Structure 1
Amino acid sequence: MKALVCILLLLETFVFVVQQQVDGGLNEKEISQQISSEDGRQNPPQTDTLRAEASTDRQQYCDLGIPDIHAALRELTATVTEQKENIRDLTATVTEQKENIRALETQLREQQMFILEELNKKNYEISNLTLSQVELRKENRDREIAFSAALWESGDGYIGPFTTEITLTYKNVFTNIGNAYNPITGIFTAPLKGAYMFRISAYGHGGTAAGVSIYKNEERVVLAYAYQPQNTLNSSNGVVLILKVGDVVSVRLWPNARIYDSQYNRSTFSGYLLFPLK
């Protein structure tokens, strides 16, 4: 405020001088003389003293005000500079936070992608596992092969003797899992490659031999045979065979031999898959 008053006083003096020059075209010397003359006529000595005092006050006032302006300006400049520094620091902090946010967003996207990939892998594994379980169940069903049968469905009696071998048909079926045995033809047909177990039993009476053989395709493999002049005859045998898909197994009655069966199911033919083979 002090500085403003000082400046206004200086401006007032300057305007007065310029106005005098414009109005009268006076030069600096004339202006001084006129001012002195007018001061002599109009102002008593007291006025000059008052003017001198006022001029001195104005000078002192300005001398006191100008340093205050400079100090205020310096303080204001320092404050502005400090605020600029604070703004720069704040801007740097905001920029750093933006970078951190972008980094976190990138990390979050990567984690989401990783989680999605893991979920897709798990779903694929579960899908494959489900398919594998279905295939395994189907494969296990395919491996469920077993049968067992006796000669007569009802009643009792002999079969044979005949002059040539005949294929026996075991009609009283106890078990036929996989339906690989045909009770009409008496033939077992292998549905898949594997190791199979087969067993036969032959029962008869003395005076005529009781003999049967297991055939793989057209090859005789094992036999069950018994003979004595009188009383009952009983014989059995078994074998493990490696069969390919489509191989057949059957039981044939020997020539001039006979076997007997009844409700007690003493003459039987059985078989089952031990394990599949590649």
Structure 2
Amino acid sequence: MKALVCILLLLESFVFVVQQQVDGGLNENEISQQISSEDGRQNPPQTHTLRAEASTDRQYCDLGIPDIHAALRELTATVTEQKGNIRELTATVTEQKEINRELTATVTELRDEMNKKDEEISNLTLGQVELRKENRDREIAFSAALMESGSGYFGPFTTEITLTYRNVFTNIGNAYNPITGVFTAPLKGAYMFRINVTGRRGIHSSASIFKNGKKVVSGHDEQAQDWLNSSNGVVLILEVGDVVYVRLWSGRRLYDSVSNYNTFSGFLLFPLREQEICRM
């Protein structure tokens, strides 16, 4: 604003001088005298006032212009500083955007990893459930004695008979039938069977384990007096539906009581796949 006032004053003086030269060709002294006479005739106090004001304006201009330059320099420095700050802020924002992208990628990776772990846990849980179910299906075992109560003899008979062990201690999987005395294999696998045979008073005690109508192993004892006792066992490879049972020999006799001397037991050692059974 100060510079504008100074420029206007300079332009006004220049226009006045040029106009006088065009009008009368006056020199500088004449111009000064004319200005002085004109000022004296018309309004001497105002002339002095204008000169004072002009002098003040010149001083004002002389003092104002350096201030403008200083202000411009200061403003330029401020703008330069702000540009530097803006560049730093831009770099910071760019860096933060990169960090945010990295964090987003990390979060996404962690989320995917968690989803994968959840799926693995879910599959593992399902696998455990299936394994438990499969293991439950493979839990096959039984054990039984001849007499449910009291004591007494079995036999002798004129033909072989299938013994029905009615006093059932264990029948996991319900593969043993206490009414018929027959064990039916629910799974292909290796099974362990065992019998215990007991008699008294000199009559032979003999019984055998049969598989599908064929004798496999026997327990036999003969003695002139007192107690007779024998046992035997066998591991059999059975397929689904194979049957195992115990038969008392013709002319033989057993003795049993609440002490459960005569027993028949069996259990699944482990299941077998088809190819394993064929190889055996």
TM-score (norm: length of structure 1):
0.75
User: In 2, are the aligned partners of 1:201 and 1:266 still within 8 Å (CA)?
Assistant: yes
Asked if residue 99 in structure 1 is aligned to residue 55 in structure 2, the reply is: no
Residue type of the partner of 2:13? T
Give the alignment of 1:75-114 within 5 angstroms: 75-114=70-109
CA contact (8 A) 2:176 2:183 kept: yes
Letter in 1 for 2:199: G
Contact 1:199–1:269 (Cα < 8 Å) also in 2: yes
With over 3 angstroms needed to count, the CA separation of the structure-2 counterparts of 1:267 and 1:34, relative to structure 1, is closer
Distance 1:3 1:177 in 2: 112
Cα contact 1:3–1:66 (8 A) shared by 2? no
Amino acid at match of 2:169: F
Q: In the aligned structure 2, how far is the partner of 1:79 from the partner of 1:179?
A: 102
| Aligned counterpart for 1:137 among listed residues 128, 132, 139 | 132
Query: Conserved in 2, the CA contact under 8 Å of 1:155 and 1:263?
Result: yes
Residue equivalent to 2:11? 11
CA-based RMSD: 3.8
How far did 1:223 drift? 0.3
Aligned counterparts, 1:69-218, within 5 A: 69=65, 71-72=66-67, 74-206=69-201, 208-218=203-213
Change (3 A) 1:106 1:42: closer
Residue 20 of structure 2 contacts residue 31 of structure 2 at CA under 8 Å; is this kept in 1?
no
User: Structure 1 residues 262-271 or 76-85, which shifts more?
Assistant: 76-85
* 1:168/1:33 CA distance change after superposition, 3 Å: closer
Letter in structure 2 aligned against 1:172: N
Total equivalences in the alignment: 260
Structure 2 residue aligned with 1:48? none
Structure 2 gap ranges (5+): 39-50, 274-280
Correspondence for 1:51: none
Contact 1:157 1:260 in 2 (8 A): yes
Q: Does the 8 Å contact 1:192/1:245 carry over to 2? A: yes
User: Is there any run of 5+ residues in structure 1 with no aligned partner, and where?
Assistant: 44-54
Q: In structure 2, how many angstroms separate the alpha carbons of the residues matched to 1:139 and 1:244?
A: 17
Any idea what the Cα deviations from partners look like across 1:102-144, whole Å, max 9, x if unmatched?
1122122122212222322332233233323323332333333
Q: CA separation in 2, counterparts of 1:11 and 1:85? A: 35
Instruction: Supply the distance in 1 between the matched residues of 2:15 and 2:261 (Cα, whole angstroms).
Output: 150
Distance 2:32 2:189 in 1: 147
